[in-house]
Structures are given as structure tokens and as C-alpha cells.
Amino acid sequence: MPAKVLVTGGLGYIGSHTSVELIQQGFEIIIVDDLSNSSIHVLEGIKRITGVIPEFIQLDLKNKEKVNQLFKNYPEISGTIHFAASKAVGESVNQPLAYYENNIGSLIHLLQAIEDKGQAFSFIFSSSCTVYGQADQLPITEMEPIKKAESPYGNTKQIGEDILFDNTKSNDHLKVISLRYFNPIGGHSSLEIGELPKGKPQNLIPFITQTAAGIHQKINVFGDDYPTRDGTCIRDYIHVVDLAKAHVVGLKRIYSNEQNENFEVFNLGTGKGKSVLEVIKTFEKVSGLLLNYEIVDRRAGDVVEAYADTSKANKILGWQAKNNLEEGLKTAWQWEKKIRNL
């Protein structure tokens, strides 16, 4: 069993669920998070599920000196799952420089510290289906050409993958798996952790659950004139616990020296595309509520349709998504009701 795994952004939505899975699989972890889009209370939730309080350090990875100090203080870190990044497509269009500084700067500081270590190192990168832009063919395979990104956020994931790929060529010690996820939803069945967006949510599902909880008056559906079955955008919604489990499988693959190459990529999704209106209707079915929504203009940076071909992850990692859209929406709504005391 490896020494210690650094989970950056480990109190965030996907990071916290992955931290739980890592602990349950016997990994010792150190969580680093700057708490810019997460809460210290998530640590308690992780403890209630696992019985373990993971080591936590509040740290901004943009601070190079502090990153170097972290690796000096914890020489036993032999792998990382790197979640820490800003992640809203729309926001990135308005604040590109902040996104490049945070998402690329942090990654470079981490990799420089890893290179200075000069030891075998396992790296799981939190990537995104946004690297594909508007794909020519659906479902999207890992062989799909990487197109010009539709948003600065998507571009930071493309650049991040390029930086990691180049690094595996220059640093023999570095082994990388980049996981390109589609749209994570839902929460842990214990309802101890879930999605906690700060401010107005940028993603569809928390916006739906918050609207159902009375926080927002209505849901804006950005465009109904797309070339899809009902005119709204189509995405592949994957349950966050399924996603979390894939990170652990990927990490074990590197630690067991099972990689075919030092840089590998895998799509993580369900393989099924659902439109915005279908998601709203499914939520209404699961919750028994009627949602108020309004069709508004298209939003910059949105691709029309994206859903995954997951056969590579199914075959090579032995992983597949177990939960469907209903299950994801059900846990998302139960979590929302819990945190709102509804």
C-alpha cells in the first residue's frame, strides 16, 4: 500500500466523495484546500462516513513557496489526485485570467515540487469532457480530436493535460492518468456530504434543487433552439460516487504498474445523454414537485451535445457507472432538503 496520497481540493464536491472512497479503500490521505469554494465542515462529514478524520491543510496552491514547503514537510507523499481548480464555464468566459492563474499556476507549482522530489509519483488529473469542445461524433471516445476549447475553463483542462503529457516525457518518475468527466451529480447516500456551491450555482442540478427549495424563483434554460430532440442542450450526468470510485481504481492502476503508457486518459460518464428539459422532468418525477423554468437566450461557451463512450474505462479499468439519473437527482434533492432543514 502506498505511503500517502495528497488530495488537492479535497473538501470540494468531487474531492470530498473521492476522499471518502480512498479512506474506505485503506489509503492514508492529506487534504489540501483553500476553502474558496468549499467548507471546513465537510471534514466532519467525511469523518462521520469513514470514522477517520483526514489530515487537512488550508493552502492556496497558487503560493509556490507553500507548495514546496508542503512537500518538504510530507516527504511520504507518493501520489496526488488533483481537483483544486475553478470550474464554472460561464464564469471563466468573464474571468479568463483568474482561471488561467488558478488552474494552470497551481498545476505547475505541484509538478515542480514533484519533480524536485525525484521519486516515483502517481498523478490523477481531474479533467473534463470540455476538452472535446463540440465533438464531431457521438458518443465521444478518447480518440476524438481535441478541438479549440469553447471556454477558458475548457482550455485550462486542455493545457493542463498538455503540461502533464510533456512532463511524463521529461520526468520518468511521473505516471499520470487524466480522467475526463462528463457532468457529476448527486451525493453520498449517507447525506453527510454533497454539492455545496458558494453563491449562485453555475451547474444545472444544484440550481434545480435550490429552485425546488425556494431559493430561486425560476430556472433559466439557456436556449431551446439547439439541434437536439427538444431543442435544449444534452449532457451525460454521472453520479459523483461512481466518479469517485473511478479515481481510486485509476490510482491503484498506477501504483500497481499496470499502465501501458506513462500518460493515459479515460472518459467517465454513463454513456447516455439527457437534455436539460429531460433532467427537469425527471427531477419533477423524483421529487413530486413542479418546477418553474423559463427559456432564455443561449449561454456563451455551451456545447450542444456531449455524452461519453466509456468502453475504454469499462474494459481497462474494470469500472462502470452504477447509478442512473433518477438516483443522482434523488440524492441531490435529499441533500438539498437536509442542508436547508426542509
SS (H, E, C) 135-171: CCCCCECCCCCCCCCCCHHHHHHHHHHHHHHHHHHHC
Task: Confirm if 268 and 246 have CB atoms less than 8 A apart.
Answer: yes
Catalytic residue check, 237 = no
Residues contacting 97, CB < 8 A, separation 6+: none
Contact (CB, 8 A) for 253 and 317:
yes
Question: What is d(CA 106, CA 24) in angstroms, rounded to the nearest whole number?
Answer: 28
Q: Identify whether the C-beta of residue 15 lies closer than 8 Å to the C-beta of residue 83.
A: yes
**Cβ atoms of 278 and 236 closer than 8 Å:** no
Which of these is catalytic: 153, 181, 237, 307?
A: 153
Q: Alpha-carbon Rg of the chain, whole angstroms? A: 19
Tracing cell 471518502 back to the chain, one arrives at 20
Q: What is the DSSP secondary-structure string of 176-242?
A: EEEEEE-EEE---TTSSS----SSS--SHHHHHHHHHTTSSS-EEEE-S-SSSSSSS-EE-EEEHHH
Rounded Cα distance between 309 and 157, Å, is 19
Give the catalytic positions in this structure: 153
